[in-house]
Amino acid sequence: MVLSSAQEVITTLLPSDQGAVSAKTPHVCIVGAGISGLRCASELLAHGVQVTIIEARDRIGGRICQSNELGYTVDFGPNWIHTSGSNPILDLANLTGTVLHIWNEKVQVFDHDGKRIEDETAKVLGELRWDIIEKAMRYSKENTHRIDKNDSLGQWFEKRTAEMEISEYDRKVLIGMAEMWGCYIGDSIYHQSLKYTWLEDCCSGEELIVASSYAAILAEIARVPLKSANLLLSQQVVGVSSFENSVNGRGVAIETANGDKFTFDDVVMTTPLGWLKRNESAFQPSLPDPLREAIGDISVGHLEKVYITFPKAWWKAAREDEYPGYTNWICPKYASDTNPDGWPQEAYDLAAFPEPHSHPTLLLYLYGDCSAHISNLVYTLPKDKQYPALDAFFKPYYSKLPRYDDVAEDCRPKAFLATAWRFDELSGNGSYCNFQVGIENADKHVEALQLGLPDRGIWFAGEHTAPLEEMGTVAGAYLSGERAARRILEQYSLFPSHKRA
């Protein structure tokens, strides 16, 4: 049920005795209609709880949203489903008929000078890269309390490659290939804490990319809340105040940007970590030190994506299964005018998708300083200036692909489509959480966010509060909402504690 105004919510939902809440049927507010908020709502509604969802955007989904600017649908937010274990998002994909794709094992890698590395060498070095990263995760988990907080994954990688009996050229290539791990965490591997690399283990299983879009998955997760919850859109929360209540002992007051006020038994904050960092003052009384430290110490990554679409997939081989699905340009030295820092690039071939989802498009992921540079271009330049700026930046890379012809019309991009999450306040001005050098007690910080403030009726959900094996993923966000709901249900004896997620 979507309500048109805050006043309608106040009139419809609050009891007549000045906002006192019922002891029989708890009324829970969920701030944010992303995956975690929607899943939380479904679980609460299934047990008879009254639910109001307050969403700052004029739509549901949070970072899960699509664009049709290229003439077909692409995801602006998540593309992947990571299957390191049982995954509810994979189950939902199968339920909804969402089309998934597994890339072939072929890769093509271009070295610092733009020369394509022999396929067999690239394959061997690629396997070595993942082997070193997996060993780093095991080492990190087994030695967390002994690892210096300032040690980085990048330093670990350099030490391990220095011990290998490989050529200096292969060592540089291997380190360059490893830098693309930055796309998993949204920042450089030299910023990734070795101490807490194990918290990124969610990416260790098979990786599936959504070839259609996340739209059907989102619709299924939202089906029950849209039918049974009170949904208030375009209302940004600016105040979350705990108060004592004579009926249930405590309650939570919510204030929105336009001055409307609501009272509830409990509130679940599903706002992104970056939003919490910038809005700690919204909580009254102030959050206790463990929560403030957790919010301050856990970092927010910066992952952006760029879709480059062409008239046709001119790079394709005669047989589609012969063409690598993945391309890596490592630390290029040949684009010093547009990329003087040598940021590496990677691309996935969307022409490999099954019909009707196959498109002559390259999908590139950017992280850290490179993502900041591109999102700045997109955010600050007018639309007619974006194409030449983006083409100047990316042409040195796509022009290295086989069968490129500088004068051929098919080799000239039709359009670019780039995200700029860095400038999206409601997404926390970034992507998902990561754990950078210098952090201590990261696992305890996550546990503090998972615990929330039961005595004040304030709970937290979102990928930054996910089970440790699902941090930073869509599945993690989903499970965090489910867990928050079940903990609330336990408080009201509506859900047996032995079934707790």
pLDDT in tens, 7-65: 344 333 443 233 333 456 899 999 999 999 999 999 999 999 999 999 999 999 999 99
Which residue do the tokens 């200096």 mark? Answer: 168
Q: At 293, which CATH number?
A: 3.50.50.60
Question: In whole angstroms, what is the distance from residue 485 CA to residue 494 CA?
Answer: 10
Query: Is residue 14 domain-resident?
Result: no
In this predicted structure, what is the pLDDT of residue 17?
A: 34
Closest by CA position to 74, among listed 426, 391, 432, 418: 418
**Which residues, listed in sequence order, are joined to residue 357 by a DSSP beta bridge?**
none
Residue 370 sits in the same domain as residue 277: no
Is residue 203's pLDDT more than 90?
no
Query: Is residue 13 domain-resident?
Result: no
Query: Is residue 70 domain-resident?
Result: yes
Residue 104 sits in the same domain as residue 130: yes
Question: In whole angstroms, what is the distance from residue 410 CA to residue 272 CA?
Answer: 41
In this predicted structure, what is the pLDDT of residue 96?
A: 98
Question: In whole angstroms, what is the distance from residue 147 CA to residue 440 CA?
Answer: 10
In this predicted structure, what is the pLDDT of residue 318?
A: 60
Q: Give the count of beta carbons closer than 10 Å to the beta carbon of residue 295.
A: 22
Question: In whole angstroms, what is the distance from residue 88 CA to residue 101 CA?
Answer: 17
Dihedral angle, C-alpha 455, 456, 462, 468, nearest 10 °:
-20
In this predicted structure, what is the pLDDT of residue 376?
A: 96
Q: Give 186's contacts (C-beta < 8 A, 6+ positions apart).
A: 300, 301, 302, 303, 367, 368, 371, 430, 431, 432, 434
Per-residue pLDDT, averaged over 105-119, amounts to 95
Residue 50 sits in the same domain as residue 162: no
Residue 393 sits in the same domain as residue 246: no
Closest by CA position to 30, among listed 6, 46, 48, 54: 54
Query: Is residue 40 domain-resident?
Result: yes
Give kind and range of the element (H or E) at residue 209.
strand 206-210
Per this entry, what is the length of the chain? 501
In this predicted structure, what is the pLDDT of residue 319?
A: 60
pLDDT tens digit sequence for 275-309: 999 999 999 999 999 999 999 999 999 999 999 99
| Final residue belonging to a domain, choices 426, 456, 480 | 426
Per-residue pLDDT, averaged over 243-272, amounts to 91
Model confidence at 84, pLDDT cuts 50, 70, 90, reads: low
Residue 310 sits in the same domain as residue 349: yes
- Range among 26-30, 197-201, 249-253 with highest mean pLDDT value: 26-30
Give kind and range of the element (H or E) at residue 485.
helix 474-491
pLDDT tens digit sequence for 121-146: 999 999 999 999 999 999 999 999 99
In this predicted structure, what is the pLDDT of residue 202?
A: 65
Dihedral angle, C-alpha 205, 208, 214, 219, nearest 10 °:
-60
Per-residue pLDDT, averaged over 421-426, amounts to 96
CA-to-CA separations, 477 to 56, 268, 359, in angstroms, rounded: 18, 13, 29
Residues 124-137 as b/e (b if ≥16 CB within 10 A, e otherwise) read ebbebbeebbeebb
pLDDT tens digit sequence for 357-367: 999 999 999 99
Query: Is residue 235 domain-resident?
Result: yes
| Final residue belonging to a domain, choices 426, 455, 471 | 426
Give kind and range of the element (H or E) at residue 108.
strand 107-110
Is residue 245's pLDDT more than 80?
no
The single-letter code of the amino acid at 241 is S
In this predicted structure, what is the pLDDT of residue 14?
A: 41
Question: In whole angstroms, what is the distance from residue 455 CA to residue 457 CA?
Answer: 6
Residue 419 sits in the same domain as residue 455: no
Is residue 500's pLDDT more than 50?
no
pTM of the predicted model as reported, rounded to 2 decimal places: 0.92
Q: Where is average pLDDT lowest: 186-195, 205-214, 256-265?
A: 205-214
Residue 348 sits in the same domain as residue 231: no
3-state secondary structure of 331: coil
Per-residue pLDDT, averaged over 423-433, amounts to 95
Question: In whole angstroms, what is the distance from residue 327 CA to residue 316 CA?
Answer: 13
Q: Give 63's contacts (C-beta < 8 A, 6+ positions apart).
A: 34, 76, 77, 78, 421, 427, 431
Residue 206 sits in the same domain as residue 311: yes
Residue 201 sits in the same domain as residue 320: yes
Residue 82 sits in the same domain as residue 183: yes
In this predicted structure, what is the pLDDT of residue 2?
A: 47
Question: In whole angstroms, what is the distance from residue 175 CA to residue 177 CA?
Answer: 5
Question: In whole angstroms, what is the distance from residue 83 CA to residue 438 CA?
Answer: 29
Per-residue pLDDT, averaged over 369-379, amounts to 96
Q: At 76, which CATH number?
A: 3.90.660.10
Dihedral angle, C-alpha 379, 380, 381, 383, nearest 10 °:
40
User: What is the rounded average pLDDT for all residues in the chain?
Assistant: 91
Structural domain including 372 reads: 66-89+97-211+301-426
Per-residue pLDDT, averaged over 202-218, amounts to 86
Sheet holding 415-418, edge to edge: 107-110, 326-329, 345-349, 361-367, 303-309, 415-418
Residue 470 or residue 438, greater confidence: 438
Residue 222 sits in the same domain as residue 293: yes
pLDDT tens digit sequence for 322-333: 788 999 999 999
Q: Give the count of beta carbons closer than 10 Å to the beta carbon of residue 298.
A: 23
Query: Is residue 307 domain-resident?
Result: yes
Per-residue pLDDT, averaged over 182-203, amounts to 91
**Cα separation of the two ends of the chain:** 28
Residue 144 sits in the same domain as residue 262: no
Beta strands 237-243; 251-256: pairing state: antiparallel
Query: Is residue 364 domain-resident?
Result: yes
Which residue do the tokens 């490129």 mark? Answer: 404
CA-to-CA separations, 479 to 214, 227, 465, in angstroms, rounded: 17, 21, 9
Query: Is residue 247 domain-resident?
Result: yes
Per-residue pLDDT, averaged over 479-496, amounts to 93
In this predicted structure, what is the pLDDT of residue 406?
A: 96
In this predicted structure, what is the pLDDT of residue 315?
A: 94
* Number of domains the chain contains: 2
311 cis-preceded (ω within 30 degrees of 0):
no
324 cis-preceded (ω within 30 degrees of 0):
no
Question: In whole angstroms, what is the distance from residue 282 CA to residue 270 CA?
Answer: 14
The single-letter code of the amino acid at 284 is Q
| Final residue belonging to a domain, choices 383, 400, 426 | 426
Is residue 344's pLDDT more than 60?
yes
Percentage of the chain modeled with pLDDT above 90:
86
Model confidence at 5, pLDDT cuts 50, 70, 90, reads: very low
In this predicted structure, what is the pLDDT of residue 204?
A: 57
